[in-house]
Structure 1
Amino acid sequence: MARYFEDIEVGDVYELDGRYEVTEEEITEFAEKYDPQPFHLDEEAAEESIFGSLAASGWHTASMCMRLLVDDFLEEETSMGARGVDELRWKQPVHPGDTLRVEVEIIDKRPSESNPAMGHVRMRTTGFNQDDDPVIEWVGLGMQRRRTAEE
């Protein structure tokens, strides 16, 4: 069922069903392309870093959690993208073998002044590992389609 601006209430919390299994191969592949720091690429270097073992790039962690958000929360017919992200924080490292999940909390919403067909929704997205430890958090500045008279 489509989730329109009118269906979203401040204080709503959505615990998404999806899970993302993190692999060493994916960590190093992402790092080689986008964030080639030693602790993302090499186990020996990572062991001597503050992470203690190979760790995913924070940008990779954001990407994996974004995938879960797209798969289980954002809907093609009602999501209109986002104006940006505030308060991005990497809470703790993500390692090979971790399993990620996401929760979304609606923290604010308002109708658009410039476009009556949409509303603005501020939502806190938190990614957790298999131990329910938060690994990443951000506030998304989403744009959500409003219901028309026919809907």
Structure 2
Amino acid sequence: MIEWFDDLSLGMRFKSGEVSVSADDIKRFASEFDPQPFHLDEAAAEKTAFKGLAASGWHTAAISMALTVAVRPFGPHPLMGLGVDDLRWMMPVRAGDVLHLEGEVVELTPSRTKPQGVAKIKWTAYNQRGEAVYTFTPIGIVPRKPNLAS
């Protein structure tokens, strides 16, 4: 079980559960956070490069964050970070898509001055056809195991 930075290792893999995305979900998110026609209206979306209703990339990012939190890659510790590297949207998420995440630990850097480390996990969101739709690599701060000798 992962509890501390010291429990993580390069190449360690994670996989999330699944979430279905509905047209109502897409429109609800877009109406509040990304009110563009290709996220809100099927007819308008048909006339765009998306050729149909597509979830906001930020909606896909929010879904991915929720899936990441559920995986608990840092055990009991919250997912706190310094930023995100390599954020990319590869293809649109559509109504009816079922998404899941897969992640791999790609970098581990212990702090020289604080009881923590920086962990980078490259996450990729896939749809039900196994197509990568989104990828991001958060720069996570994870506590180190307390020194029991002190």
User: Is the structural similarity TM-score above 0.5?
Assistant: yes
Deviations 1:28-69 (A, max 9, x none): 111111111110000001111111110000000000011010
Structure 2 match to 1:128: 126
Moved over 2 A (4+): 73-80
Contact 1:79 1:145 in 2 (8 A): no
In the alignment, the residues of structure 2 paired with residue 79 and residue 147 of structure 1 have an alpha-carbon distance, to the nearest angstrom, of 15
Structure 2 match to 1:10: 10
Q: CA deviation at 1:148?
A: 1.3
What TM-score, normalized by structure 2, do the two folds share?
0.92
In the alignment, the residues of structure 1 paired with residue 146 and residue 30 of structure 2 have an alpha-carbon distance, to the nearest angstrom, of 44
Structure 2 match to 1:145: 143
Aligned CA-pair RMSD: 1.4
Contact 2:5 2:74 in 1 (8 A): no
Matching residue's letter, 1:86: D
Task: Give the number of aligned pairs.
Answer: 148
Give percent identity, aligned residues only: 39
What is the correspondence of 1:42-81 to structure 2 with a 5 Å cutoff?
A: 42-75=41-74, 77-79=76-78, 81=80
Equivalent position SS for 2:134: strand
Structure 2 match to 1:31: 30
In the alignment, the residues of structure 2 paired with residue 33 and residue 57 of structure 1 have an alpha-carbon distance, to the nearest angstrom, of 11
In the alignment, the residues of structure 1 paired with residue 105 and residue 118 of structure 2 have an alpha-carbon distance, to the nearest angstrom, of 11
Equivalent position SS for 2:137: strand
In the alignment, the residues of structure 1 paired with residue 14 and residue 74 of structure 2 have an alpha-carbon distance, to the nearest angstrom, of 14
Contact 1:79 1:143 in 2 (8 A): no
Q: CA deviation at 1:2?
A: 3.8
Equivalent position SS for 1:70: helix
Q: CA deviation at 1:80?
A: 5.0
In the alignment, the residues of structure 2 paired with residue 104 and residue 14 of structure 1 have an alpha-carbon distance, to the nearest angstrom, of 5
